[in-house]
Amino acid sequence: MLDQIKTPVTEMLGIRYPIIGAPMFLVSNEAMVIAVSEAGGIGTFPTLNYRPASEFARVVKSIKQKTSKPIGINIIVNKSNTRQNEDLKAALDAGVNLFITSLGSPKKVIEEAHKNGAKVFSDVTNLEHAKKVQDMGADGVIAVSAGAGGHAGPISPLVLIPWLKKELSIPVIAAGGIADGPTMAAALILGASAVSVGTRFIASKEAQVDQAYKDAIVNSSPEDIVMTTRVSGTPAAVINTPYVQKIGTDLPLALKILKDHPLTKKYAVPLIHFLGMRSLENAASNPTWKTVWSAGQSVGLIHDILSCQEIVESLVKGYESSIKTAPKN
């Protein structure tokens, strides 16, 4: 197995492999972050996975004490996250190496992280937002494409990755549809400097989600993934469970009107995000009839439950094999 894969992202973060264990709401945990980082990638988790803010501060400090490897956290930077300033300070105090921003302006996070020598990657789904965060000083963008779990973008990774690579001067990280070595190799060939892998790590031994969720990841096909705005107001990819089928995938009309109207949009969007996060909390960790399981189309490539270390090793070995056997022009 390759001892390292050098890219601008591995050089920037001081990691062996260009693999980010994506921050997954209510899934990523302390054990997963440590395991991915120790395996040579970089583990990350959303600040909101630990409540209250004091618990997040305790956990992030604990992780940094248990591994000397770089780690990252994800902060939602819109008004729905009333904890963002408190969590940012706790992460900076703990010495977090990477900040991933979502759903808003990363300006403050970039300014504060850079004071600490930390790096900031911002989730983007299009060139306009990518250029904005680049101008703010982001160190990289995570290109969230069609096929990703959670808040997936609308553009194919075959187009989004090389498009952003051509137009930007900062590294592009590929997110969406990556679960094995060949898909990782394809992303890097397209111009990505790293891959962000989420769904594959749900089916890991360290994930503390309900076994039914893991089994659903293993047994689902790409055709079982649907996009719904019912959860957060923003299109999100989930497994098409009976509950999702029952509630439908569109926002209720009243909320949709509030979200779309210029005068009420700035109030409605944070409210929808807040209500959506509440509805997801029990579904990830307890058997419930309200089952909303976030996942991407890469479920079709996942056939077993492995440790996080085994997943990283499988990605690297599959990448190496794919590069060696790729047709030479």
Where exactly are the structural domains of the chain?
A: 8-208+303-325, 216-285
Burial of 54 (0-12, 13-18, 19+ CB in 10 A): exposed
Q: What is the 3-state secondary structure (H, E, C) of 285-312?
A: HCCCCCCCCECCHHHHHCCCCECHHHHH
The answer to whether the CB of 299 falls within 8 A of the CB of 239 is yes
Choice between 73 and 248, residue whose per-residue pLDDT is larger: 73
pLDDT of 184 above 50:
yes
Alpha carbon distance 247, 228 (integer Å): 10
Q: Write out pLDDT tens, residues 120-131.
A: 999 999 999 999
Contacts of 48 (CB under 8 A, 6+ apart): 25, 56, 76, 81, 83, 277
CATH architecture of 8-208+303-325: Alpha-Beta Barrel (3.20)
Reported as a single tens digit per residue, the pLDDT across 112-151 is 999 999 999 999 999 999 999 999 999 999 999 999 998 8
Contact status, residue 19 vs residue 40, Cβ threshold 8 Å: yes
Amino acid at 306: L
pLDDT given for residue 287 in this prediction:
43
What pTM was computed for the model? 0.88
Distance in angstroms (rounded) separating the CA atoms of residues 154 and 166: 19
pLDDT tens, residue by residue, 205-222: 999 998 999 999 999 999
Amino acid at site 285: S
